[in-house]
């Protein structure tokens, strides 16, 4: 039998690629003759960069940026050639705390990641920047990039 194993992340425990590997390992112990194809999935929220890195390779870059309420948070983004893949939820996602004040929350951290990506990913030929903004705490999808790059919360 051919089986496609295509999980999303397991909420704070396993990334989608880790979940796919675990499912394949368990399946193979029970039914070793089946052909398993892994296709980890992500909806753009937590785990998005891990799934893309598994599929595309590239360089994972870690930055520390202000979270939705100004506290420093680590953000990992992916650079593949001249393309930057950024998971905005790492900078301003709901998982960063229990506080829910969207009129105060900021996406400045996303702007900082954009600035870092621009500093490293731009070439004279082409530049692509892919940003996904699901389940974030702030009301504005992206802050003014110049303001965030300058270090201003807006």
3-state SS, one letter per residue, for 86-107: EECHHHHEHHHCCCCCCCCCCC
Q: Tokens for 154?
A: 């807006």
CB 145 within 8 A of CB 115: yes
Domain 42-149 indexed as CATH 3.90.1510.10: yes
pLDDT value at residue 61: 94
Query: Helices in 11-144 by DSSP H: which ranges?
Result: 16-30, 48-56, 89-92, 108-121
- What digits encode the pLDDT tens for the residues 26-45? 999 999 999 999 998 877 67
Q: Quote the tokens at residue 79.
A: 């650079």
Instruction: Please provide the distance, in angstroms rounded to a whole number, between the alpha carbons at the two ends of the chain.
Output: 54
Q: Which residue has the tokens 């598994």?
A: 54
Q: pTM of the full predicted structure? A: 0.69
What is the rounded average pLDDT of the residues 88-92? 86
Structure tokens at 97: 């705390």
Share of the chain above pLDDT 70, in %: 77
pLDDT at 121: 64
Confidence of residue 68 (pLDDT cuts 50, 70, 90): very high
pLDDT at 46 over 80: no
Give the helix/strand (H/E) hosting 149: helix 145-149
- Render pLDDT for 100-127 as a digit per residue (tens, 0 to 9): 888 888 889 988 988 888 888 655 333 3
Sign of CA dihedral 91, 96, 102, 103: negative
Residue ranges covered by each domain of the chain: 1-41, 42-149
């Amino acid at each position: 039998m051919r089986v496609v194993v295509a999980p999303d992340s397991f909420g704070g425990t396993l990334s989608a690629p880790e979940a796919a590997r675990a499912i394949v390992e368990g399946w193979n112990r029970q039914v070793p003759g089946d052909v398993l194809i892994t296709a980890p999935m992500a909806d753009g929220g937590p785990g998005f960069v891990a799934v893309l890195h598994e599929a595309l390779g590239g360089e994972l870059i870690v930055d520390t940026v202000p979270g939705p309420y100004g506290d420093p948070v680590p953000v990992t983004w992916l650079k593949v050639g001249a393309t930057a893949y950024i998971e905005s939820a790492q900078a301003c996602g709901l998982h960063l705390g229990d506080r829910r004040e969207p009129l105060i929350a900021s996406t400045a951290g996303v702007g900082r990641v954009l600035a870092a990506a621009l500093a490293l990913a731009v070439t004279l030929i082409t530049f692509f920047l892919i940003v996904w903004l699901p389940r974030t705490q702030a009301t504005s999808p992206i802050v003014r990039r110049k303001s965030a790059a300058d270090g201003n919360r807006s």
